[in-house]
C-alpha cells in the first residue's frame, strides 16, 4: 500500500535532478576567472569561444559524468555488500590508482618541463591500470566473488597495503609529493572532450548492466539464502556487478583523481527521500552523484575565485556533514 506512492515519487525526483543538472551545466559555462564576459562575447570572440567551449564546458560535463559514475558505483557497492557504509573504493581501487599514479610520476617525472599531454595520458592510464589491478588482486585474495564478507575483507587489506606502498614511494621520491597531493584531493580542471566522451560511454554501459542485474541486488538485500531460493545465478551476477563497479570507479578516478563521499552519500540521499528497488535506486543515485559533484566543482571554482579549491575537499566536507546529520536524526524520522 505504501510502496506505490513512494515509487511514484521516483519520476519527479529524476526530473528534478535532470533539471538541476541542466541548470548547473549552464552555470558552469559562466563560472571562471573571466566571469560572464566570456559568455556574452561567445559569438564574436575566438578567445571567449575557446574558454567556454574548450575549457569550461568539458570540465563541467566531465564533473557531471564522473559524479554519475561514482553515484552508480556507490549504489552497486552498497547493494552488493549489503552495507550502507560501502563506497566505490571498497575493493582497493583508490589505493591501486594512487600507487599507479605515484609510479607513473616517478617514471615520467613530475617537473613542469615534462610534455603535458604525455604526462596527462600516462597518469590517466596508470590510474586506471592501478585501480583495475587492485580489484583483480582483491578477487584473487578473496578466491572469487562467492563470499561477500571475504571479498570485503580482501578489499580492505589490499587498500591498506597499496596505500602504504604509495606512501613509501612518495617518501622515497619527495619530488612527486605535490602532484600526488593534487591527485588525492581530486580535480576536474584537466578534463577534456575526449575524457567526457569516455566517461559518458562507460556510464551508459555500466548503467545498462547494473540496471539489468538489479534483481540480483534486490535478492541479496533479502539475504543470501533468499536470493538463492529465487533461482538467481548469484555467482555470475556478482562477478558482473564487481566488474561494473571496478570499471565505473576506475574510469572516474583515472580522469578526476580521488573524490571522496560522492559515491557514499548519493545512495543515502536517495533513500532519505524514498524507498525503492535497485533498478530505480541505481539511476537516481547516479543522477544525485552527478549533481553533487557538479555543484561542488562550481563551488570550488567560485568561492575563492580566481583561485580554486580542490573539489575533493568540498565533497568531503559536504558529504561528511550530511552523513553526520543523518546519524543524528531522530530514529523515527530516519525510518519514515
Q: pLDDT tens across 161-177, in order? A: 999 999 898 888 888 88
Interatomic CA distance for residues 106 and 162, integer angstroms? 16
Helix/strand/coil for 320: helix
Please tell me the predicted confidence (pLDDT) of residue 334. 43
Query: For residues 199-229, b (16+ Cβ closer than 10 Å) or e, as one string?
Result: bbebbeebbebbeebbebbbbbeeeeeebee
Q: How far apart are CA 125 and CA 255, in angstroms?
A: 9
Instruction: Return the closest-CA partner of residue 162 out of 123, 187, 131, 193.
Output: 131
Say what the pTM is: 0.86
Residue 128: CA atoms inside 13 Å, Cβ hemisphere, count?
Answer: 16
CA distances from residue 22 to 101, 195, 294, 295 in whole angstroms, order as listed: 33, 20, 11, 12
- In angstroms, rounded to a whole number, what is the distance separating the alpha carbons of residues 280 and 262? 18
The span from the CA of 291 to the CA of 251, in Å, is 18
- What's the grid cell of residue 245? 563497479
Q: What are the structural domains of the chain?
A: 3-335 (1.10.3470.10)
User: pLDDT tens, position by position, for the chain (336 residues)?
Assistant: 444 555 567 788 889 999 999 999 988 887 765 555 555 455 566 766 677 778 888 999 999 999 999 999 999 999 888 888 888 898 888 899 889 888 888 887 654 334 455 555 667 888 888 888 999 999 899 887 777 788 888 989 999 999 999 989 888 888 888 778 878 888 888 888 888 999 999 999 999 999 999 888 888 777 666 666 666 677 788 889 889 998 999 899 988 888 988 998 899 889 888 888 888 999 999 999 999 999 999 888 877 767 778 888 888 887 777 777 777 766 544 443
Nearest by Cα to 247 from 72, 64, 103, 63: 72
Rounded CA gap, 80 and 220, in Å? 7
Quick one: pLDDT at residue 53? Answer: 77
End-to-end CA distance of the chain: 15
256 contacts 124 by C-beta, under 8 angstroms: no
Cβ atoms of residues 14 and 287 within 8 Å: yes
Amino acid at each position: 500500500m505504501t510502496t506505490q506512492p513512494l515509487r511514484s515519487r521516483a519520476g519527479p525526483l529524476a526530473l528534478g535532478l535532470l533539471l538541476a543538472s541542466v541548470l548547473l551545466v549552464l552555470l558552469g559555462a559562466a563560472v571562471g576567472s573571466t566571469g560572464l564576459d566570456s559568455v556574452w562575447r561567445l559569438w564574436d570572440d575566438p578567445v571567449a569561444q575557446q574558454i567556454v567551449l574548450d575549457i569550461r564546458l568539458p570540465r563541467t560535463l566531465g564533473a557531471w559524468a564522473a559524479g554519475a559514475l561514482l553515484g552508480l558505483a556507490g549504489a552497486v557497492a552498497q547493494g552488493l555488500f549489503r552495507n550502507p557504509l560501502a563506497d566505490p573504493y571498497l575493493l582497493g581501487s583508490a589505493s591501486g590508482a594512487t600507487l599507479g599514479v605515484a609510479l607513473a610520476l616517478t617514471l615520467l617525472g613530475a617537473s613542469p618541463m615534462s610534455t603535458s599531454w604525455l604526462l596527462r595520458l600516462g597518469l590517466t592510464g596508470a590510474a586506471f591500470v592501478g585501480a583495475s589491478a587492485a580489484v583483480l588482486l582483491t578477487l584473487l585474495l578473496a578466491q572469487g566473488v562467492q563470499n561477500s564478507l571475504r571479498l570485503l575483507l580482501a578489499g580492505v587489506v589490499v587498500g591498506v597495503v597499496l596505500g602504504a606502498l604509495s606512501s613509501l614511494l612518495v617518501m622515497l621520491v619527495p619530488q612527486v609529493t605535490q602532484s600526488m597531493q593534487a591527485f588525492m584531493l581530486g580535480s576536474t580542471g584537466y578534463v577534456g572532450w575526449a575524457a567526457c566522451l569516455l566517461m559518458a560511454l562507460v556510464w551508459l554501459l555500466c548503467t545498462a548492466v547494473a540496471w539489468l542485474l538489479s534483481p540480483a541486488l534486490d535478492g541479496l538485500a533479502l539475504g543470501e539464502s533468499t536470493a538463492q531460493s529465487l533461482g538467481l545465478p548469484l555467482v555470475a551476477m556478482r562477478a558482473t556487478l564487481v566488474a561494473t563497479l571496478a570499471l565505473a570507479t576506475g574510469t572516474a578516478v583515472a580522469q578526476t583523481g580521488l573524490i571522496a563521499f560522492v559515491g557514499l552519500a548519493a545512495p543515502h540521499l536517495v533513500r532519505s527521500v524514498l524507498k525503492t528497488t535497485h533498478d530505480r535506486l541505481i539511476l537516481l543515485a547516479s543522477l544525485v552523484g552527478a549533481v553533487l559533484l557538479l555543484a561542488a566543482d562550481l563551488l570550488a571554482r567560485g568561492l575563492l575565485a580566481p583561485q580554486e579549491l580542490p573539489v575533493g575537499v568540498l565533497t568531503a566536507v559536504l558529504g561528511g556533514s550530511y552523513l553526520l546529520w543523518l546519524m543524528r536524526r531522530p530514529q523515527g524520522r530516519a525510518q519514515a
